[in-house]
Amino acid sequence: MAFKSRISIANPETAALVADSFVPSGSRDKVIVEAYPGPGALTRALMQLPKERIRKIIVLEDVEQYLNFLNPLQEADPRVQVLPMNGFSWDTYHQLDVQGFLDDVENIPWNQSNPYLHFISHLPMDVLGEQLLAQLLRCAPEQSWLFKYGRISMSYLMHDWVWDRISASPEHQARCKLSVIAQAVSEFNHTIDPQLLVPYNSHFYPDATNPAYSLKTENRRRGTPFIAGTFRPLEHQIIQPGMLDKWDYCLRKLFVLKSTPLKDAVGHLAPGSDALKSYLAGDDVPPDQRTDMMKSIRKMSVEDWAAVVGAFDRWPFAPEELLITDSFSRDDRI
């Protein structure tokens, strides 16, 4: 992940506010896995919270310039372990298991939230940052990645334009594949008022470049507002285990036709897929279970998508090879 895509909280007072919102009063004995900490202002703020809240902080950072700031933290506080690893890589989380860093984390049944393990990250501002968030959200239905320990929370600092895409309702122009996945698997909220994180230059590093003087995308995005938010996996997952590839396939194929009514778009899933209309709204479907085929793709709810994917799964002529392009490769997938 490009160094130039990295933005970090820099104001210690702001970092303290964010840390307290991510790990609030009442938290006990948490193990924090922190990715992309940058020079560590948020890490320091987490360390300064009342010690009963946090038992261990595992810091994942592979940029040498940042490690020079982070390594002294583990010398100052035995709760901190700084690992020169990349938070985007599947192997990083595999190594956390292999090397025993999470051996003391309790597995909690899925019908309860796990209050003892918490993932925290600055989300890089390039496309890989959004891909990372999308991929981690996709781990919830399969209870893979850190979700094998239960319904853990994930807290992020991210650009508000990413948040807008995640939270976009069916009536919002920003609604996209990421909106559907995020809303299907989790509930989420701001942890502090976004106005407390503006203006950008008062809280984050590096300073914003005036977009009028730059043609580079990363410079134009640098300086746009950030938000702090937490995601909590839903107990009842509408995406069933083993169905994620089919959700990805249907979302990818249909969202390119986002302004098209479902009745006209469904035939683009595969040759012969117009047959799915009878699965979704045929005469043998109870009226209260029929899908509104006149809805445009962008205006479909999570429940509408579940109906489409369910019909696709039942259709005997559905393609078997579903190319994955929205997530890591099969070998790298978290």
User: Pairing between strand 186-190 and 226-233?
Assistant: antiparallel
Q: Where are the domains of the chain?
A: 3-233, 244-314
Query: What does the pLDDT profile of the chain (334 residues) look like in tens digits?
Result: 456 679 999 999 999 999 999 999 999 999 999 999 999 999 999 999 999 999 999 999 999 999 999 999 999 999 999 999 999 999 999 999 999 999 999 999 999 999 999 999 999 988 888 999 999 999 999 999 999 999 999 999 999 999 999 999 999 999 999 999 999 999 999 999 999 999 999 999 998 865 444 445 554 456 889 999 999 999 999 999 999 999 999 999 999 999 999 999 999 999 999 999 999 999 999 999 999 999 999 999 999 999 999 999 999 999 998 975 444 433 444 4
Whether the Cβ atoms of residue 271 and residue 303 lie closer than 8 Å to each other: no
**Exposure of 59 in the CB half-sphere (CA atoms within 13 A):** 27
In this prediction, residue 252 carries a pLDDT of 96
pTM of the model: 0.92
What superfamily in CATH does domain 3-233 come from?
Vaccinia Virus protein VP39 (3.40.50.150)
In 3D, which of 199, 207, 187 has the Cα closest to residue 160? 199
In this prediction, residue 330 carries a pLDDT of 38
In this prediction, residue 329 carries a pLDDT of 37
In this prediction, residue 210 carries a pLDDT of 55
CATH of 244-314, one of 3.40.50.1170, 2.40.30.20, 1.10.8.100, 3.10.20.30: 1.10.8.100
In 3D, which of 95, 167, 145 has the Cα closest to residue 328? 145
In this prediction, residue 3 carries a pLDDT of 63
Residues contacting residue 325 through CB under 8 Å, at least 6 positions apart: 252
> Are 3-233 and 244-314 in the same CATH fold?
no
